[in-house]
Amino acid sequence: MNYDEYIERMKDNKYKELVVTKSGEDKPYVFISYRSDSWKKVLTEIVYKLQKEYGLRIYFDKDFASETNTWVEQFQKNMNSPFCKAFICFFDEGYVTSYATLIELMHAMNPKSKLKDSIFSINFNIDWKKLDDNGNNTGLGVEQDDNPGWEKEKEAFEYEFKLIKDNDEYKAVEAYYKRNDELRVCDCKDIMNIIQPKNRRPFADTKEFYEHFIIKPLKDKCPSVFEDVLKADVVNQENKVIASNNVEEDRAYTLKNDIILKQDSESSVDVESIATPLSVNIPTIVSKATILRDFEKLCESVDFCVELGNARNKIRHGGKGLFDYLMAALLRGCDADIYDKKNNRVMRQAGYNYNKYAVVENPNDPKTSDIQYPWTWTTNCRKSIKKDDIPDRFFNEKGKVKSGRLEDFNKIFENLRPESTIGEVLEKFESREKGFDTKDNTLIFEAWNLIEEIHLN
The DSSP output letter for 130 is G
Q: Give every CB contact of residue 213 below 8 A, 6+ residues apart in sequence.
A: 120, 122, 201
In the chain, how many domains are there? 2
pLDDT at 148: 75
Domain extent for 110:
3-225
Q: Is residue 275 part of a domain?
A: yes
Q: Which amino acid is residue 56, in one-letter code?
A: L
DSSP 73-107: HHHHHHHHSTTEEEEEEEESTTGGG-HHHHHHHHH
Q: Is residue 232 part of a domain?
A: no
Kindly report the average pLDDT of the chain as a whole number. 81
| pLDDT above 50 (res 144) | yes
Tell whether 155 and 293 lie within a shared domain.
no
Which tens digit of pLDDT belongs to each residue from 210-260? Answer: 998 899 999 988 999 999 643 322 223 222 322 333 333 333 323 232 222
Number of H helices, E strands in the chain: 19, 10
Range with the largest mean pLDDT of 96-110, 199-213, 255-269: 96-110
DSSP 156-206: HHHHHHHHHHTSGGGGGGGGG--TTS--BHHHHHHHHHHHS-TT-EE---S
pTM above 0.75, yes or no: no
Residue 65 binned pLDDT confidence (cut-offs 50, 70, 90): low
Tell whether 206 and 348 lie within a shared domain.
no
Query: How far apart are alpha carbons 394 and 380 in whole angstroms?
Result: 12
Which of 64-73, 368-377, 425-434, 446-455 shows the lowest per-residue confidence on average (mean pLDDT)? Answer: 368-377
Tell whether 162 and 268 lie within a shared domain.
no
Tell whether 348 and 443 lie within a shared domain.
yes
Tell whether 220 and 266 lie within a shared domain.
no
Domain boundary among 200, 225, 250: 225
Looking at residues 386-396, what average pLDDT do you find?
88
Tell whether 170 and 265 lie within a shared domain.
no
Residue 283 binned pLDDT confidence (cut-offs 50, 70, 90): low
pLDDT at 404: 83
Q: Are 421 and 223 in contact (CB under 8 A)?
A: yes
Tell whether 205 and 254 lie within a shared domain.
no
pLDDT at 173: 94
pLDDT at 32: 97
Q: Is residue 179 part of a domain?
A: yes
Q: Is residue 61 part of a domain?
A: yes
Q: Which amino acid is residue 46, in one-letter code?
A: I
Which of 67-71, 181-185, 250-254, 347-351 shows the lowest per-residue confidence on average (mean pLDDT)? Answer: 250-254
Domain boundary among 201, 225, 249: 225
Q: Is residue 457 part of a domain?
A: no
239-276 b/e (C-beta count within 10 Å ≥ 16 → b): ebeeeeeeeeeeebebebeeeeeeeeeeeeeebeebeb
Tell whether 217 and 106 lie within a shared domain.
yes
Long-range contacts, stretch 333-338, CB < 8 angstroms, 24+ apart: 333/410, 333/411, 333/413, 333/414, 334/375, 334/377, 334/378, 334/381, 334/406, 334/410, 334/413, 335/378, 335/405, 335/406, 335/407, 335/410, 336/414, 338/371, 338/375
Looking at residues 152-171, what average pLDDT do you find?
91
Which tens digit of pLDDT belongs to each residue from 3-59? Answer: 677 778 788 899 999 999 998 888 999 999 999 889 999 999 999 999 999 999 999
Q: Is residue 235 part of a domain?
A: no
| pLDDT above 50 (res 77) | yes
Domain boundary among 225, 250, 282: 225
pLDDT at 1: 56
pLDDT at 69: 52
Tell whether 278 and 174 lie within a shared domain.
no
| pLDDT above 80 (res 365) | no
Q: Give every CB contact of residue 416 below 8 A, 6+ residues apart in sequence.
A: 292, 329, 332, 425
| pLDDT above 70 (res 93) | yes
Tell whether 42 and 180 lie within a shared domain.
yes
pLDDT at 244: 31
Which tens digit of pLDDT belongs to each residue from 311-351? Answer: 999 998 889 999 999 999 999 998 866 777 677 777 888 98
pLDDT at 427: 94
Q: Is residue 369 part of a domain?
A: yes
Domain with 72 in it: what CATH number?
3.40.50.10140
pLDDT at 169: 86
Q: Is residue 233 part of a domain?
A: no
Q: Give every CB contact of residue 342 below 8 A, 6+ residues apart in sequence.
A: none
Tell whether 209 and 296 lie within a shared domain.
no
Tell whether 294 and 218 lie within a shared domain.
no
**Beta strand extents in 230-338 (DSSP E only):** 240-242, 251-254, 276-279
pLDDT at 344: 72
